[in-house]
Structure 1
Amino acid sequence: MTVSNTGQNILQYESTIWSTADLLRGCGIKESEWPSYMMPFFALVMIESRLLRMFDELKAELGQVMLNEIDADELISLIQDRGQGYNACIFEKHQTLKDICQNDKAFDIDFDGYLKGFDGETKDLLGVDVSEGEKFLDIKGVIAKLKAKKVLFSYVKAWSGIDLKPFNNSDITTLEEHIKRRWADISAETAGEQYTPDDVIALIAEIIAAKIEDSDRLLKIYDCTCGGGNLLFGVEDRIKEKVSRLTQTFGQDWNDALYALAKIESRFRVDSKIEHGNTLTDDKFFDDAFDVVIANPPYGVDWKGFQKDIRNDKTQRFHHLPSTEDGQLLFMQHLISKMSVTGMGVVVHNGSTLFSGDAGSAESNIRKWMLDQDLVEAIIQLPTDEFFNTGIYTYLWVLNQRKPDERKDRVMLINASEKFKPLKKNKGKKRKAIDEVSRLEIVETLEQWADHDYARVFDKEFFYFNKQGIMLTNVDEQGRTFADRLKDGKKGLKLKPIQLENGERVLREFTIFDPPEPKTAEDVDNWRGLEQYFLEEIKPFISSLDYKEQPLVITTEKALYYFDADQETLIKEALGKREALGCGKIVVKSVFKKGTKSKPECIVITVELTPDYQKDYEIIPYHRDGDENRAAIEAFMAKYITKPFEYLENVVGVEVNFNKVFYKPEQLRSVEKIYSEILELDQNLKRLEKEFEL
């Protein structure tokens, strides 16, 4: 199973690597558990291949003459000084994993010696000696399970035949991304935990590279949810292909196994730092600022479990805290806090970051803060079915601290949902890929900064809106309101009823001191005290009263009061006269009052007539100038609101709606076309009728 032909694409070895799972299937290991068995051994062959490649490079640098002159200890020191790891079995005994698998009799001892021959950090990442705490790749636990299944030797031998030494870091990163994607497919991972496809990585890198010039200044790249490092290292590799620039990569992730894979890879790269931990609660790079920030944070993942830490965060990263059910905008704020004063970024999100949360919500306020700070240069809608585990639309937020003057306070929306080629063979739920032509077209569109059929530039205020609260006063058919009947300062008219009737029940007591007396033996057995009588009978009855839906007549000593639903007005009848009082409410309330030393317990029922007020709000376009904005609100109200009202609070919200901007109405058929089709159908029906007559 040797794979060492550098003339061929490394991705052809994906199936070869995947075939190692045949043994797992054969011994009854569930497919969903395969990744935990495959990850440590994939890491093992990556490490060995890269160590061997590094050793060959070192020998080439030294030359044969120098190699003959230095002793073994000096050579070992030179290897260790490179900081890419060490294995005593490989460099001192000159035995690889494949060599160890040649002798099944001595395999257990030799394999144990091979694993323990690694340097301390590698052993920690692989989980060679771990007993408690972080196990990372947990190869020790996997080995124990494979021994119990009696397939350890065969499994290790299958992996030992995979030789990745001929391939460079970028090649191996690409292969790793495809392998990890398949692991995600079978691990029943949520749609929120995404591996970034290679074509999306290429687009992100192209966007960033277009803004970077050749320079001898170090470019610091950061991914706060780096996973196995595919996005971080993939972007670095592509930037280096486009631009002559020294780079340094930084990443953090709290998934044990993925962190270990990224950490292993980082050691074979120039100047790369990968840390383990929860970025939102334990930022390992709290003192650093970066030229480029990138991330594909988890979608819809809640942060209830560590909300106390975030609410008590002292870093001032989080200007607003979104719903605990979705932490995407926490990651967005964190990334912005990590950007240098001239930094830029590209962040992958689903649609919730565009529109979740109403005006005044944390989500809307975060979007507003980002636009207020003029951090957003563009938002790009990607095609559906782009990611391996979800078919939803995803979006690239392009952030920029140094927007050119012509782009200040403006945002471009690019609808790239049709910029793809269908895959010949689906990869999980991924059915589409952004091909090179589409990728370059998207980047060129961003660079040109001009409107056309799938891109538009807006002043940032286009995405703002006023949510103007109002208190409406409802009126009857004649435009009257009960509010006009009230004296200044009065909120309602309290009645002194002697009777309340709703068509089903008549109530004549409005201060009740005693529950009804029992009349039968059954009543005696079920006798209730006053409070129980209130809770079980009076309170539910009062709550059920609906003066608009059923007749409700309030009788006082001087008049009757009720609501005329047809005219939407309160009516007063007295001395044979019927008077419309205007639109209003009949408010009936009940309360149980506990007894005191001077007063007995009682139930009190009150009736009040009040104006019919109704809180509402209107969504109104926003204007940057305060006076213009107020004038626009007033003009809107004058045009559309006919009832009396008072202004309440105005809240400015922000949302981004791609459907609204790029909506294309369905093309309707002409009347002539429809008419001709009807005639044709009519003729066909007549023909069928004649055939039946025959």
Structure 2
Amino acid sequence: MNENNKFDVVGTNIAEKATMIWNVADMLRGPFKPHEYGLIILPMTVVKRFHDCLLSTHKAVLEKYEEVKKFAVIDGFLTTASQYQFYNISKYTFDSLLADPENIEANFRDYLNGFSANVQDVLSKFDFDNIIRRMVESNTLYLVIKEFNSQKGYLGPDKISAVDCGYIFEDLVKRFSESFGEEAGAHFTSRDIIYLMTDLLLSDADLSKGGNVTVYDMAMGTSQMLSCMEERIQELNTEIGVTCFGQEFNPSTFAIAKADMMIRGGDPNNMRFGDTLSEDQFSGYQFQYIISNPPFGIDWKREKAAVEAEAKKGDLGRFAPGLPKISDGQQLFVLNGLSKLAPNGKMAIIQNGSPLFSGDAGSGPSEIRRYILENDWLDAIVQLGTDMFMNTGISTYIWICSKDKPLHRTGKVQLIDASHCYEARRKSIGTKRNDITDQCRDLIVKAYGAFENDAVYGDKEGIYCQSKIFDTEEFGYQKIVVEQPHRDENGEIVIKKGKPVADISLRDTENVPLTEDIKEYFKREVLPYAPEAWIDEKKTKKGYEIPMTRYFYEYQAPEPVEEIAVRLHELELEIQSSLDTLFGGE
């Protein structure tokens, strides 16, 4: 079965399972408002997944607990017995809870308290204690547990794989977000985009030697980028160990990410809660791969004090090169990623268009671009088509940054226009109307690997992408300030301290490409039109921008006037014919 068919089948099956779980909300109507359903369904889904995973080893865990309960440290014994990174020492299961409806609250709390500390951390992020109280008050706790214990609520690993469970979590978070009126796409990225990112990251990787690799997502949502990256790496070599790390600021999605990691057998301590910009949970860490879709178009006012304090640390902090405008913090995530990228590391990060060109020479955004380009860390940028994400229809870009470029890519940047490389969906999800299919992904990855200038992959009449190669310095320029003399009432040049005084009203600026000599440019482009002008060299600043749209612009000749006239005449005849038909009977 090819990737697309596999994706469709999985997607259908998981959507059905998620729908059945979400339908538990039917019994919540009245005591709970629609936007509150997820407050119950999300944590209950996590608890039931834990329950069903532990069911087969429940007896062994209880026996082991009786043996070791007086020991100072018991976690290792119990996780070995449970065969997971978590365990539960309560005597209850969902079956025995339902057998005693009169004591459902006390027994359910006993069951939850029996979980290991890492599960307690997950449940605390859901504020589950308060939710249980409300279910008790509305007489819905027993009914909800009963529904989750039915066949349709079964989430055991023999029926639902770890990957499939991740899909279920994603689907439920999306439904919860929509019921809340939130933008669902703020919490996760669709799989077609993630698989493109993973394949770009791994296209030139040598994973034949085995060993262990580290992967980090600084805005992990429900952690599906991490699980996809792990899946892709192990498809290439099952002998490779993959250690995932992630940080997330949204409590419920963090809880799901941590639960997902525990269920997949990873280290749940690597899933950390907090604001990445102001509460970095991985200071001093370095990672081989970074994959992330951080928020863009979001201000960083809340983090302003912490970010500015870190910027003052200079090279000891993450934000030394510069700070973007307060209304858009996405470049701060790029700097965070670069600060954690290992010497052989590679990062794929999604951004909108503003980091390509916003900010004048010397501004924070331009200085960040300068920092990346002058260190030769920008490997490639892939422009995606519009309507690719669930919460925005705008054009987006995947930046590929590498601290260990191969020799043939050194000093170069590859730009790939993949805005025509998609297929329309039969049914849109939010604003996501287009997909990157297998064929599309293969074209883009092929273009990236071939590293050819002015090359087209695919059919320009249909699905295709285009590659261009540039020297890094081609994105740079020197912004010069051009002055002209001020004249007095008699038209004479005003002189002060032996030099002409500048007329501020005539002041102008020019952007001189780094590839050109300033004096030659000035002589050619300015002096013929302003022979008395000069450059104020103290004000010269270096800037960088990546005008991607301009590089891929193709002139489209306008329709000939004669053809337009013929078309207008035909329209006039049609309109007249319609009017004659309408009023002909009068």
TM-score bracket for the superposition, by shorter chain length: 0.7 to 0.9
- The 3-state SS of whatever aligns with 2:24 is helix
- The 3-state SS of whatever aligns with 2:142 is helix
- C-alpha distance in 2, partners of 1:191/1:617? 44
- C-alpha distance in 2, partners of 1:324/1:680? 54
Give how far 1:656 is off.
2.0
The one of 526, 532, 537 equivalent to 1:637 is 526
Give how far 1:363 is off.
0.5
The one of 294, 297, 315 equivalent to 1:297 is 294
State the aligned residue count. Answer: 544
- C-alpha distance in 2, partners of 1:690/1:147? 73
**Between 331-340 and 267-276, the greater mean CA deviation after superposition:** 267-276
* Residue 127 of structure 2 corresponds to residue 138 of structure 1: yes
Give how far 1:144 is off.
1.6
Residue 243 to residue 689, structure 1, CA distance change in 2 (3 Å): closer
Residue 221 to residue 633, structure 1, CA distance change in 2 (3 Å): farther
What is the aligned partner in structure 2 of residue 264 from structure 1?
A: 259
TM-score calculated relative to the size of structure 2:
0.83
What is the aligned partner in structure 1 of residue 212 from structure 2?
A: 218
- The 3-state SS of whatever aligns with 1:346 is strand
Please show how residues 278-297 of structure 1 align to structure 2 within 5 Å: 278-297=275-294
Please show how residues 567-646 of structure 1 align to structure 2 within 5 Å: 613-623=505-515, 628-639=517-528, 641=530, 644-646=533-535
The one of 510, 531, 540 equivalent to 1:650 is 540
What is the aligned partner in structure 2 of residue 435 from structure 1?
A: 437
What is the aligned partner in structure 2 of residue 669 from structure 1?
A: 559
Residue 637 to residue 84, structure 1, CA distance change in 2 (3 Å): same
Q: Percent identity among equivalent residues?
A: 28
Please show how residues 233-272 of structure 1 align to structure 2 within 5 Å: 233-244=227-238, 245-272=240-267
Residue 163 to residue 191, structure 1, CA distance change in 2 (3 Å): closer
- C-alpha distance in 2, partners of 1:361/1:221? 32
Give how far 1:680 is off.
5.6
Residues 226, 253 of structure 1: 8 Å contact kept: yes
- C-alpha distance in 1, partners of 2:438/2:236? 14
Amino acid across the alignment from 1:647: D
* Residue 492 of structure 2 corresponds to residue 484 of structure 1: yes
Residue 442 to residue 8, structure 1, CA distance change in 2 (3 Å): closer
Uncovered stretches (5+) of structure 1, i.e. residues with no partner: 60-66, 128-135, 493-583, 585-609
Residue 83 to residue 467, structure 1, CA distance change in 2 (3 Å): same
- C-alpha distance in 2, partners of 1:679/1:641? 50
Uncovered stretches (5+) of structure 2, i.e. residues with no partner: 1-8, 69-73, 457-465
Residues 473, 481 of structure 1: 8 Å contact kept: no
**Between 648-657 and 663-672, the greater mean CA deviation after superposition:** 663-672
- The 3-state SS of whatever aligns with 2:101 is coil
Please show how residues 343-422 of structure 1 align to structure 2 within 5 Å: 343-422=345-424
Residue 640 to residue 689, structure 1, CA distance change in 2 (3 Å): farther
What is the aligned partner in structure 2 of residue 130 from structure 1?
A: none
Residues 42, 172 of structure 2: 8 Å contact kept: no
- C-alpha distance in 2, partners of 1:28/1:340? 52
Residues 218, 246 of structure 2: 8 Å contact kept: yes
The one of 40, 60, 81 equivalent to 1:37 is 40
* Residue 155 of structure 2 corresponds to residue 164 of structure 1: yes
Residue 126 to residue 688, structure 1, CA distance change in 2 (3 Å): closer
- The 3-state SS of whatever aligns with 2:351 is strand
**Between 286-295 and 611-620, the greater mean CA deviation after superposition:** 611-620
- The 3-state SS of whatever aligns with 1:456 is strand
- C-alpha distance in 1, partners of 2:266/2:470? 40
Give how far 1:7 is off.
13
Amino acid across the alignment from 1:243: N
- C-alpha distance in 2, partners of 1:211/1:36? 43
Amino acid across the alignment from 2:17: Y
- The 3-state SS of whatever aligns with 1:619 is strand
**Which of the pair has more CA radius of gyration?**
1
The one of 50, 53, 67 equivalent to 1:50 is 53
Residues 480, 509 of structure 2: 8 Å contact kept: yes
Give how far 1:332 is off.
0.7
Q: State the 4+ residue runs in structure 1 displaced beyond 6 angstroms.
A: 5-8, 69-72, 74-77, 681-694
Residues 320, 366 of structure 1: 8 Å contact kept: yes
Residue 227 to residue 683, structure 1, CA distance change in 2 (3 Å): closer
Residue 51 to residue 348, structure 1, CA distance change in 2 (3 Å): farther
The one of 102, 105, 109 equivalent to 1:105 is 102
What is the aligned partner in structure 1 of residue 463 from structure 2?
A: none
What is the aligned partner in structure 2 of residue 507 from structure 1?
A: none
Amino acid across the alignment from 1:242: L
The one of 196, 200, 225 equivalent to 1:231 is 225
Residues 199, 434 of structure 1: 8 Å contact kept: yes
Give how far 1:291 is off.
0.6
- The 3-state SS of whatever aligns with 1:140 is helix
Give how far 1:343 is off.
0.6
What is the aligned partner in structure 2 of residue 551 from structure 1?
A: none
- The 3-state SS of whatever aligns with 1:304 is coil
Amino acid across the alignment from 2:87: Y
Residues 185, 389 of structure 1: 8 Å contact kept: no
- The 3-state SS of whatever aligns with 1:288 is coil
- C-alpha distance in 2, partners of 1:185/1:7? 19
Deviations 1:270-301 (A, max 9, x none): 44321222222332222221110111111122
TM-score calculated relative to the size of structure 1:
0.71
Residues 347, 396 of structure 1: 8 Å contact kept: yes
Deviations 1:147-196 (A, max 9, x none): 23332222232223311212221221122222222323333335883411
Residue 680 to residue 197, structure 1, CA distance change in 2 (3 Å): closer
* Residue 7 of structure 2 corresponds to residue 14 of structure 1: no
Residue 420 to residue 243, structure 1, CA distance change in 2 (3 Å): farther
Give how far 1:683 is off.
8.0
Residue 114 to residue 685, structure 1, CA distance change in 2 (3 Å): closer
